[in-house]
Amino acid sequence: MSGGAPHPYVPNTDADRAVILERLGLTSPEDLFADLPEAHRDPAIELPEALTEPELLRHLRQQSAKNRDGGDVPSFLGAGAYRRSVPSIVPYLVSRSEFMTAYTPYQPEISQGTLQSAFEFQSVVCELTGLDVSNTGLYDGASATAEACLLAARVTGRSAVALLEPVHPGILDVVRTYAYGANLRVDVLREAAAVTEGHACLVVQQPDFLGTLVDIEAVAEAAHGAGSLCVVNADPFALGMLRAPGDAGADVVTGEGRDLAGGPQFGGPSLGLFAARSQYLRQMPGRIVGRTTELRGPRGVDGGELPPRTGYVLTLQAREQFIRRERATSNLSTAQALVALAFTIALQALGSRGLREAAELCYQRAHDAARRIEALPGFEVPSRGPWFQEFLVRGPLPAAELHRRLAARGIGGGLDVSMRAEPEARETLLCCVTEATPPEHVDALIAALRDIGGAA
Amino acid sequence: MEIRDSLRYTHEHEWIRLEGDEGVIGISDYAQDELGDVVYVALPALGTRLVAGQRFGEIESVKTVSELFAPATGEVTAVNEAIEEHPELVNESPYDDGWLVRIVLTDPTQLEELLDAEAYGAELPAAG
Amino acid sequence: MTGRASEDFGARLSFDRSEPGRRAVDVPRWDGKRTALPDAHLLRDALRLPELSQPGLVRYYTALSQRNYGVDSGTYPLGSCTMKYNPKVNEAIAALPGFAEAHPLAPAEDVQGTLEVLHMLQRALAEITGMDAVSLAPAAGAQGELAGILMVKRALEERGDLDRRRRVLVPDSAHGTNPATAAMAGFEVTQIPTQGDGSMDDDVLARELDGTVAALMVTVPNTLGLWEHGIEDIARQAHEAGALMYGDGANLNAVLGRVRFGDLGFDVVHLNLHKSFSTPHGGGGPGAGPVCCTADLAPYLPAPVVEAREGAFVLARPERSIGQLQQFHGSTGVLLRAYAYIRALGLEGLRAVSENAVLNANYLWSLVREHYDLPYGGPVLHEVVFSGSRQRREHGVRTYDIAKRLIDYGFHPPTVYFPLIVDEALMIEPTETESRESVEALAAALVAIAEEAAGHPELLHQAPVSAPIGRLDEATAARRPVLRWQPPEA
């Protein structure tokens, strides 16, 4: 390999390096590292040998194959990550290198693709949530919810936040992490009426962690009665049929956008949605894109000046860390732009009617599956009011044992939530059926449950 | 670069104009030029008590944000509502239409400690 | 890139191109028994999303992509952002169904392939940084910073030292994320000025390093592209004063395989996998920002970490973890790509990366240095920070204009007006994935622009003329924000 480029990703050959070194008046590239402390330079580092591309692919194909679930195994796990039918144009368009290999759009003249897409994203999020303003996205739904708590603490000057159970334990955990930084107390409430004037906000999940639909208006009234903000962490897909939380009184709506953007990918990359009422615009975390026009119009073919054209820019940047530093609304820099693009294209591919149809299909399939389970002797679906796509299953044997026996039959039987305090969760599995769950997987589940129930 | 003779200035580039027992406050022509296009000004509510030398608001341009410091102590009796819709007034007319707040002065003699036009002009970097 | 001057492409969003009744994807019909929908007060009545055909939507987003510039389009020398080439095999790897379809709550035995890769990545990053323990949980560099500073907070709290240690020291050349992060963790920020050689001011640092300091946050190499002189001594002094050393790994690309944070005395450091380890930035993410630390701080790492137990891999929560940073485990799809990158290069490859990154930056420095001011001298490491102050003073041309003119020459402009301590800064980082001749072409453009600034400054003021759109009115955008589509007034 002597004389060639050191690697396919690194173009300079020995001859190139010789030209550069001569120009620099150096004999060895090592001279450029002379400032590094000699005692610590070039340490022993143990890394595996480099792999060529075919070797690399083989190695990682083998690793991938060690995972049991490639999407073909019946699984009824949801609990914050839901299988969706992602339109095929989504991965196709998102992989265009102009989108994928760009940086944050600091130069708007050659970043209109990213910027205009982000404006589309903001518009879609505002329509779904029923709120006035959206940023271009945060890391994930949980950290977006934590950022909403920080916003609420800033605008109310209060030093505690409240979350309404049942809330996803991952969301609660992330809120606690951020609250530790900001020195905020975190209270977990069993009912909305327990919110007090010490709480900056009341956070509610829609649907809640156990799948039930929440009457946001009632929660918002309780929060506002205490002078607190109402923060709703909503599933954006469910919002295809559910009332927009902003219309029901929510002040900030967050959510997780990963499911419609691509596969679950073991949880990430994800996408945090964040929308708010316009009075909180200057307290928003993250990047925001605005619409504007050219300072001067272009020249036409006859040399005359044409009207200025419409374009998009990062705006309201004085909120952000690179300008306001320690007084910024957040430290956010890199977020999830490409996932936001995928989310936008997926929703726009569905369109108004398609999203409503897909959400209702999800609702119908899930309820049909629940009805069939309820009809099995020994099984029940503890009723907790209206729900969307997730339901509790209680069988004739302990939840952990039921889960084990389903696993033995090659079925992922949802999430065991029997350790929860809610009485309806006693000895239950939280199961999820979506519009993307293959009907034959549901058939397999029903058959397995009948089998297990008969043996119990 | 205009430095208006009739005003008093702070080291941080605010000006104050005495009108009876009230003072009108703004930022200097030099300050607006350094900031560039002003896009937003956060001002105190009516009735807020400003304290000489203390922060009373913020002014944002496209690429920067600066704090506003009170030239004198007093209670806010008016804020310039026009700049909420048209922050560019601060750029276009820093000494007139782009004023920020009006206060009732607690102690008008505080103004004597501020810079006069000549002293303020001497503090600015030589025009280049 | 395309752009017909006469067309106002940006004026028509997908919403404006919508025709009711069109659709880009169909939804299966439900033929089974219908369940009544929930009460009407829980349901929405209207939803305004665009309705486009599939070809219509594909053309719209394809046209949008053509109004963008990426690393695959050409040289993208954004200083401090390390815009290197993104290997395509990594995309194929992340898309393998076993990885892509893994549910985050799947039982560990069902996701051993993913967990083992993550475990190997943790080990590789520990080796590369010389630290003892790693959590891959943070979603991006800034979240890694937050994790690291929260770990500092918890460590000080547990040793009963948090009440008096309220300050974090940050050099004035730092990224804004550093002070913003310290503030998010409830600390006050004290800025340390930069001295003539580009390092932190020794005297100020010695004066400030007292019993009220929680941590010193330092970017190594710093944002001037220079080594922080005596950093190992500074670390010793910080530890003697009872403070912890936080390392910002944003510029790791310069020293990959050559020097390690752990050996220099750092306690905790974050990395940016979308910089040093080639994962695509996607126009603003997703990234990943692993946090690496000493054994002393390992109990505080964010959850989860991957552990090997009895021959199997499991997700674990460190004993006194600061908690989770995301609802699930982190940006696994990004982590897989970074792992593939490290495996493709190996140690010798990583050393070739830093060598060629530094060679290219210095080559550019040598070709351009006479034409622009250089406040902190050279040679440099991975990037060089010029100043356009001469052009401003002599020709009335701003760095902003120089950047816009580079677009006309076919390049993405460098980072401008950062670091804040350099007047009219032009911060240029070619990276190792540019060839000698592409560095020469960039240098030639910068030299030509310096000459234009002297002879034809109007070319710079009017630039860019070859982009899909001209300079935009950012002031009006911020003064009267329009942040979403609205239906045309009836």
Cα separation values, C18 from A27, C61, C66, C490, Å: 63, 14, 21, 16
Helix, strand, coil fractions of chain B, as percent rounded to 5: 20, 35, 45
Residue A456 has pLDDT above 70, yes or no: no
Euclidean distance between CA atoms A114 and A196, whole angstroms: 42
Is A361 in contact with C57 (Cβ distance < 8 A)? no
Res A2: pLDDT: 55
Chains in touch with A (3+ beta-carbon pairs under 8 Å) read: B, C
- pLDDT tens for A171-228 read 999 999 999 999 999 999 999 999 999 999 999 999 999 999 999 999 999 999 999 9
Q: How far is A252 from chain C (nearest CA, A)?
A: 16
Which residues of chain B neighbour A324 with C-beta distances below 8 Å?
65
- Positive or negative: CA dihedral B34, B35, B36, B41: negative
Q: DSSP letter for A308, please.
A: P
Q: Which residues pair with B104 in a beta bridge?
A: B22, B75
Q: Residue A1 has what pLDDT?
A: 44
Strand A185-189 with A160-164, pairing: parallel
Q: In chain B, whose CA is at the least distance from the CA of C416?
A: B63
Cβ–Cβ under 8 Å, residues C468 and C409 = no
Strand order in the sheet with C188-192: C133-135, C291-293, C268-270, C244-248, C213-219, C167-171, C188-192
Pairing of strands B74-79, B49-50: antiparallel
pTM: 0.97
The Cα–Cα gap between C264 and C283 comes to 34
Alpha-carbon distance values, A363 to A80, A208, C26 (Å):
16, 15, 17
**How large a percentage of chain C has pLDDT more than 90?**
97
pLDDT tens, residue by residue, A70-115: 678 899 999 999 999 999 999 999 999 999 999 999 999 999 999 9
Q: Is the dihedral of CA A341, A344, A349, A354 positive or negative?
A: positive
Amino acid symbol at A117: S
User: How far is residue C378's CA from residue A223's CA, in Å, rounded to a whole number?
Assistant: 59
pLDDT tens column, C442-467 = 999 999 999 999 999 999 999 999 99
Q: Report chain B residues whose CB lies below 8 A from the CB of C417.
A: 63
The whole-angstrom separation of Cα A148 and Cα A142 is 10
| 8 Å CB contact between A312 and A286 | no
In which band, very low, low, confident or very high, does the pLDDT at C6 lie, cut at 50, 70 and 90? low
Instruction: Check CB contact under 8 Å for B64 and A318.
Output: yes
Alpha carbons A34 and C50: distance in angstroms, whole number: 59
- Can you tell me the ipTM of this complex? 0.97
pLDDT at B128: 40
State the smallest CA–CA distance between residue B21 and chain A in angstroms. 34
Asked if C384 reaches chain A (Cβ–Cβ under 8 Å), the answer is no
Question: From the CA of B17, how many Å to the nearest CA of chain A?
Answer: 29
Nearest CA in chain A to B61: A318
The residue among A453, A387, A427, A422 whose CA lies nearest residue A169 is A422
Task: Find, among C425, C147, C322, C204, the residue nearest to A322 by Cα.
Answer: C425
Among chain A residues, the shortest Cα distance to B38 is held by: A318
Q: Which phi and psi angles does C23 have, rounded to 5°?
A: -150, 150
Cα C401 to Cα A148, A236, C467: the distances in Å are 38, 42, 14
Cα nearest neighbour of C395 on chain B = B128
What phi and psi, each to the nearest 5 degrees, are found at residue A185?
-85, 145
Q: How confident is the model at residue C5 (pLDDT cuts 50, 70, 90)?
A: low
Average pLDDT along chain C:
96
Residues 6+ apart with CB under 8 A from C214: C152, C153, C156, C162, C165, C166, C167, C168, C187, C243, C244
Confidence bin at A267 (pLDDT 50/70/90): very high
Assess B34–C contact: CB distance below 8 Å, yes or no.
no
**Whether the Cβ atoms of residue A83 and residue A438 lie closer than 8 Å to each other:** no
* Number of Cβ within a 10 Å radius of residue C206: 12
- Determine the distance in angstroms separating the CA of A295 from the nearest CA of chain B, rounded to an integer: 13
At residue B126, the pLDDT reads 66
The three-state secondary structure class of A443 is: helix
Chain C, window 199-218: residues with a beta carbon less than 8 angstroms from a chain A beta carbon: none
Q: How many residues does chain C have?
A: 490
Residue A455 has pLDDT above 80, yes or no: no
Q: Which parts of C47-140 fold into alpha helices (H)?
A: 54-65, 89-94, 97-100, 112-129
Give the helix ranges, DSSP H, for A226-294: 258-261
Q: Which residues contact C295 (CB under 8 A, 6 or more apart)?
A: C132, C133
Map residue A363 onto helix, strand or coil: helix
Q: Residue B128 is nearest to which of C393, C478, C479, comparing CB atoms?
A: C393
| pLDDT value at A388 more than 90 | yes
Rounded to the nearest 10°, the torsion over CA B86, B92, B95, B96 is: -60
Written as six digits, the tokens of A267 are 């949880």
Instruction: Please tell me which residue of chain B has the smallest CA distance to C479.
Output: B39
Q: Would you tell me which residues 20-39 of chain C have a C-beta closer than 8 angstroms to some C-beta of chain A?
A: 22-30, 32-35, 37-39
If you count them, how many residues does chain B have?
A: 128
DSSP bridge pairs for B106: none
What whole-number distance in Å separates Cα of residue A275 and Cα of residue A361? 27
Q: What is the pLDDT of residue A70?
A: 65
| pLDDT reported for residue C439 | 98
What angle (nearest 5°) sits at the alpha carbon of residue C33, between those of residues A237 and A364? 10
Give tens-digit pLDDT for A80-91. 999 999 999 999
Q: Of chain C residues 324-353, which have a CB less than 8 A from chain A?
A: 324-334, 336, 340, 342-350, 352-353
> Measured between beta carbons, which residues in chain B are less than 8 angstroms from residue A317?
62-63
Place of tokens 């977006």: A144
> Quick one: pLDDT at residue C378?
85
Token code pair at residue C271: 């990395």
Give the total residue count for chain A. Answer: 456
* Residue C3 pLDDT > 60: no
Q: What is the mean pLDDT of residues C283-289?
A: 97
Chain B residue closest in CA terms to A319: B65
pLDDT tens-digit map of A130-179:
999 999 999 999 999 999 999 999 999 999 999 999 999 999 999 999 99
Task: Look at residues C10, C17, C85 and name the one whose alpha carbon lies nearest to residue C467.
Answer: C10
Mean pLDDT, chain A, rounded, equals: 96
Which chain A residues are Cβ-neighbours of C350 within 8 angstroms?
47
Q: Angle, nearest 10°, between helix axes A112-129 and A337-374?
A: 30
**What is the CB-side half-sphere exposure of residue C461 using CA atoms within 13 A?**
10
Helices and strands: H and E segment counts in chain B = 4, 9
DSSP letter (8 states) at residue A109: G
What sections of A32-74 are H helices per DSSP? 53-66
The 10s digit of each residue's pLDDT in C53-109 is 999 999 999 999 999 999 999 999 999 999 999 999 999 999 999 999 999 999 999
Question: Which of C417, C474, C479 shows the shortest C-beta gap to B88?
Answer: C479
Chain A interface, best mutation among B65, B68, B84, by max A CB count within 10 A: B65
| CA-derived radius of gyration, chain C | 25
pLDDT tens for each residue of B45-93: 999 999 999 999 999 998 899 999 999 999 999 999 999 999 999 999 9
C21 falls in which pLDDT band (50, 70, 90)?
Answer: very high
Exposed / middle / buried, residue A54 (Cβ in 10 Å: 0-12, 13-18, 19+) = exposed
Q: Which of B90, A288, A112 is nearest to C472 (CA)?
A: A112
Q: Nearest by CB to A139, from C326, C404, C464: name it.
A: C326
Q: By the 8 A CB rule, do B67 and B58 touch?
A: yes
Q: Per-residue pLDDT tens for C315-331?
A: 999 999 999 999 999 99
Q: Which residues of chain C does B88 touch, with a Cβ-Cβ cutoff of 8 Å?
A: 475, 479
Residue pLDDT, tens place only, C31-50: 999 999 999 999 998 899 99
